[in-house]
Amino acid sequence: MRATHAVTTNHISTMPVPTQEQYIKMLNTAKEKGYAYPAVNVTTIEVINGALKAFAEAKSDGIIQVSLGGGQFASGTAVKDSAIGAIVLAEATHRLAEEYNVLVALHTDHCQADKIDSFLRPLIAESKRRVEAGLKPLFNSHMLDASALPMAENLKISQQMLKECAEVGIVLEIEIGVVGGEEDGVDNGDAPNEKLYTSPEDMLLTYETLNGLGTFMLAATFGNVHGVYKPGAVKLAPKILRDGQEVVKAKHGEDMLLVFHGGSGSDLCDIREAISYGVVKMNIDTDTQYAFSKPIVMHMCQNIDGMLKIDGEVGNKKVYDPRSYLKKGEQGICERLQLACEDLLSAGKTLYGQI
């Protein structure tokens, strides 16, 4: 598990957080070989450590990402600045990842158009500062979510942001259509049904608008919903991805790198089918939140007398010490992410030391 901060094999030098060339190679290799990377949202050091441990034990490369809300939380209740918190979490990941022998890319999740100037651009500026100092960008990729806007406006903003990211060597992820449900304070529960299913024509338009400006990933919608619902409540249609990819490839000879949003609770058959159509990244947040919280709740319930000072008692420091239960949360998220690596077929396929 432990790395030596740099590994050289046949003149190949690898650090756990990939260079942009290595990151693009990761994405293309996953697409070519039929697997995808779990992308887990992080909010604390414990979640980062659980994710890193999971990827290392599964011998899988992976993606750690920060949302607007996650960044705001990490900056503290007095600061509440999404960009500052994202920088803190990213810097911590860069340093902690050096102890592991897998590649771990850094990504930001769902930035709406009205948050570009307060979130994306400050992070791009920070990456530019690092590059000018001879370092890697802070993040490997960013997600612009302008999907609530009309398609033409979405793609116009996407063009501009892709150019800005490409100048610093950063991949851009965009979304067309709308992922239903609620995540990070954004509620798309009343999205019209047609927005939940991207058309092949819109996928073709996206390719033709963005191709050649930089490397991008597309989160096309095929009935995806954020959150977890009872079986049968969510109707995924992965063949929408197939149909769109076929239209693009028929006209241009190549297709796109796709992203699966709202992966928590999805049937394995839908996950595997989506991968077969070019999905290289699947977001899994709701399931990992639960996996982190459940063992902490169990600890509280099983040790309630020691957690609280009641009727003049002094409690039990061994059980109310935050380390006693947060490490259980870390292990919980580790175990759930290892399962995700198996589901996405990335387990055992790390490219660490090979690219």
Q: Which positions are annotated as active-site residues?
A: 109
Location of structure tokens 């490397």:
215
Torsion of CA 160, 91, 93, 168, to 10 degrees: 30
The Cα–Cα gap between 104 and 218 comes to 20
Using DSSP bridges, classify how beta strands 104-112 and 62-66 pair: parallel, antiparallel or unpaired.
Answer: parallel
Q: 296, 273 in Cβ contact below 8 A?
A: no
Rounded to 5 degrees, φ, ψ at 104 are: -130, 110
CA-nearest of 264, 107, 112, 127 to 178 is 112
Instruction: Give the start-end residues of each E strand in 92-140.
Output: 104-112
Collect all residues with Cβ–Cβ distance below 8 Å to 121 and sequence separation of at least 6.
164
Q: How far, in Å, CA of 234 to CA of 212, rounded?
A: 35
Helix (H) or strand (E) holding 132: helix 121-132
Cα gap 222→198, rounded to integer Å: 6
Q: Which of 97, 91, 70 is nearest to 15 (CA)?
A: 97
Name every residue whose Cβ is closer than 8 Å to that of residue 352 and which is 6 or more positions away in sequence.
7, 14, 16, 61, 101, 102, 103
**Residues facing residue 339 across a β-bridge:** none
Q: Please tell me the distance from the alpha carbon of residue 198 to that of residue 201, in angstroms, as a whole number.
A: 8
